[in-house]
Chains A and B, each alone.
Chain A
Amino acid sequence: MVPVQYYLLLSAGLFCVGLFGILTRRNALVFLMSVEIMLTAANINFVAFSFQHGNLTGQVFSLFTIALAAAEVAVGIGIVLVLYRNFRGVDVTEAATMRW
């Protein structure tokens, strides 16, 4: 069987990919996707560890998180919509009227 370390590496990689996306992309939607990737990384951990520890807590919880992620995206899309309406675009760096 695959030792848990590999899963950990995988999830860490995913997490970094997501982070990289957040730091580099300016499109709000891509931003949201990157967040999803990070959450997925966490989910992988949960599943993997729950398998290792031999209890279901992690797996169950990962279901919760998936749902929450979906909700988050839903709200996010809504906000992106009004963003588009107000700023004529979905570039997150456009909305920078408030600063300092």
Chain B
Amino acid sequence: MAPLPDWTAAAPAILLGLTAITLLIIDSISPRSKNRNLLAGTTLVGTLAALAAAVGLLVTGTGTNGGVSLYGGQIIVDGMSLFFTIIFTSVAALVTLASYDYLAGETEQAEYYALVMLATTGMAMMASAGSLALVFVSFELLSLPSYALVAFLKDNRGSVEASLKYLLIGALSSAILLYGISLIYGVTGGLLFETVAANIQNSGLTGMLGIGVLMVLGGFAFKTASVPFHFWAPEAYEGSPGPISAYLSSASKAAGFVVAFRVFTVAFGLDIVSSVDWVLAFQVLAVVTMTLGNFAAATQDNVKRMLAYSSVGQAGYVLIGLAALGGGQDALVLGMSMTHLLVYGFMNTGAFLFIALAEHWDIGRTFADYNGLGSQAPIACAAMSVFMLSLAGIPLGGGFLSKYFLFGAAVGAGFWWLAAIAIVNSVLSLYYYLRVVRAMWFEESNGDRTIEGYPLGLYTAVIAAAVVTVLLIPAFNLVADPAVDAAAALF
């Protein structure tokens, strides 16, 4: 058969976009529709289609040898972009499943799903952005729907406050990002990564370049919720509706990372930018982020907020992927960060979806409220235990392998001190993740809790996430291999 035209390489993003438009059309036909099956169904179909497309492209080897570059290099579809598209779409699928029950009875469901789809489209584009321009546009395409989604529970003070903070910090960060981009443009006279990479060395303007690079870095740090750009994260995750917390903490964070990976490896590659030691910057960021995240998470009373902080901490681990570059194990460390992001996409989403489930049952949010839940909802609690332990790096889930490989690779790159700090944090994280397990299984149930109904969608999502998390141990190679290859392709 004839080879597919190039544009098909962008199929995932296109499909997502189309889904979003479809939803809007549906909404305009029957506004305020509460037809969960139709709306969630459409979204799920679109997402899965995109997922299938991404997987298909990856398997058929579109990602190999530099990938496909479209629109004069504005869009690059390679292993990494497809890999991350898979993360985004899987998370989106889980979130959609969960929202099916979570939104029961809500109006404006169509908008909700549409926004989710638009944000996902933005992510997919970020993953394959080939120029700083597209980076910024897709960045905004992701951010704006996110602000709205966080505020989805319009008359819930928490939700609104969260979205406000998210918006303000986000606006500030995007301004910083944009300014940084403008400086880079000033130095290099281009926005395409190739142009940037090409013109960056022989420009004397080290200071301007440096400021630009660091500002861009700041912009990404906002998306990845890395200290000190993380302040929005705890509130946003805590305040927003459960599925959205899951979505932001997993997918949106991954989006931030993918763009950071690409920009810093391709545009500001180590071999190119000698004057700005951004690796050191990422090391600082990684250490501060994981430390602050984990330590702050250790003493929370609110499970959701604990997870929020823990996801900040996890971002710190992933940052090792950039912080340990230049140690001779580049492909390995970067690949392992990517793998960790994927596994994290499932286990962290699952964890937040469990919270969503708890919110759906409206049992409270503190640890004490979870006491003895294990005897009432054993399956869900077992799944939650898997998420917690996998997040902590105990081999009930793939999180163990990705995390340990990440640390190991860091040692291999010679950054043993980075790994050592990571270890201290990891142990601390085990402590607070165990608090959930302990509440669910060890403590006695404090009486008056009745669980009415076991929502199908939420359960399916949680169980699916758990199953994938567990299966990722034996099937680890399926994700680790492409990740390392994709990472290797960047250098």
A interface vs B, CB < 8 Å? 4, 8, 11, 15, 18, 22, 28, 31-32, 35, 38-39, 41-43, 45-46, 48-50, 52-53, 55, 57-58, 61, 64-65, 68, 71-72, 75-76, 78-80, 82-83, 85-87, 92, 95-98, 100
A-B Cβ contacts below 8 A, count: 136
B367 on interface, CB distance cutoff 8 Å: no
Assuming the contacts A57-B185, A83-B160, A97-B157, asked whether A42 and B175 have C-beta atoms less than 8 A apart, the reply is yes
Q: Is the CB of A31 within 8 A of B179?
A: no
Whole-angstrom CA separation of A100 from B176 in the bound complex? 26
Assuming the contacts A35-B172, A39-B175, asked whether A95 and B186 have C-beta atoms less than 8 A apart, the reply is no
B 44-91 contacts with A by CB, 8 A: none
Chain B contacts for A49, CB-based, 8 A: 182, 185-186, 189
Q: Mark B154-184, 1 if CB is under 8 A from A, else 0.
A: 1111101111110110011011101101110
CB distance from A14 to the nearest CB of B (A): 10
Chain B contacts for A39, CB-based, 8 A: 174-175, 178
- The 7 A-B residue pairs whose C-beta atoms are closest, nearest first, are A45-B182, A53-B189, A38-B175, A95-B161, A35-B171, A49-B186, A42-B178
Whole-angstrom CA separation of A48 from B186 in the bound complex? 8
Assuming the contacts A18-B175, A49-B189, A72-B174, asked whether A79 and B167 have C-beta atoms less than 8 A apart, the reply is yes
Q: Is the CB of B189 within 8 A of A76?
A: no
Q: Is the CB of A64 within 8 A of B160?
A: no
Q: Is the CB of A75 within 8 A of B133?
A: no
Main secondary structure of the interface of B (DSSP, over half): helix
Q: Is the CB of A79 within 8 A of B157?
A: no
CB distance from A22 to the nearest CB of B (A): 6
Q: Is the CB of A76 within 8 A of B157?
A: no
> Which of A32, A80, A85, A95 has the most chain B CB within a 10 Å cutoff?
A95
Q: Is the CB of B186 within 8 A of A71?
A: no
B369 on interface, CB distance cutoff 8 Å: no
Whole-angstrom CA separation of A83 from B136 in the bound complex? 27
Assuming the contacts A57-B133, A58-B185, asked whether A98 and B162 have C-beta atoms less than 8 A apart, the reply is yes
B324 on interface, CB distance cutoff 8 Å: no
Total contacting residues, chain B, CB less than 8 A:
44
Whole-angstrom CA separation of A8 from B182 in the bound complex? 10
Chain B contacts for A50, CB-based, 8 A: 185
Whole-angstrom CA separation of A9 from B154 in the bound complex? 42
B344 on interface, CB distance cutoff 8 Å: no
B239 on interface, CB distance cutoff 8 Å: yes
Main secondary structure of the interface of A (DSSP, over half): helix
B101 on interface, CB distance cutoff 8 Å: no
* Partner of B147 from A46, A61, A79 at Cβ < 8 Å: A79
Whole-angstrom CA separation of A92 from B172 in the bound complex? 14
B423 on interface, CB distance cutoff 8 Å: no
Chain A contacts for B179, CB-based, 8 A: 11, 15, 38, 41-42, 45
Assuming the contacts A8-B186, A57-B185, A79-B151, asked whether A87 and B160 have C-beta atoms less than 8 A apart, the reply is yes
Q: Is the CB of A28 within 8 A of B164?
A: yes
* Partner of A65 from B136, B147, B190, B234 at Cβ < 8 Å: B136
CB distance from B313 to the nearest CB of A (A): 16
Assuming the contacts A46-B185, A72-B144, A79-B151, asked whether A98 and B158 have C-beta atoms less than 8 A apart, the reply is yes
Name which residue of chain B comes closest to A7, CB basis. B186
* Partner of A75 from B167, B172, B208, B305 at Cβ < 8 Å: B167
Chain A contacts for B172, CB-based, 8 A: 22, 35, 38
Q: Mark B114-139, 1 if CB is under 8 A from A, else 0.
A: 00000000000000000001001100
Chain B contacts for A53, CB-based, 8 A: 185, 189-190
Whole-angstrom CA separation of A50 from B133 in the bound complex? 14
Q: Is the CB of B185 within 8 A of A76?
A: no
Name which residue of chain A comes closest to B156, CB basis. A86
Q: Is the CB of B140 within 8 A of A55?
A: no
Whole-angstrom CA separation of A4 from B185 in the bound complex? 13
Whole-angstrom CA separation of A8 from B157 in the bound complex? 42
Name which residue of chain B comes closest to A37, CB basis. B175
CB distance from A95 to the nearest CB of B (A): 4
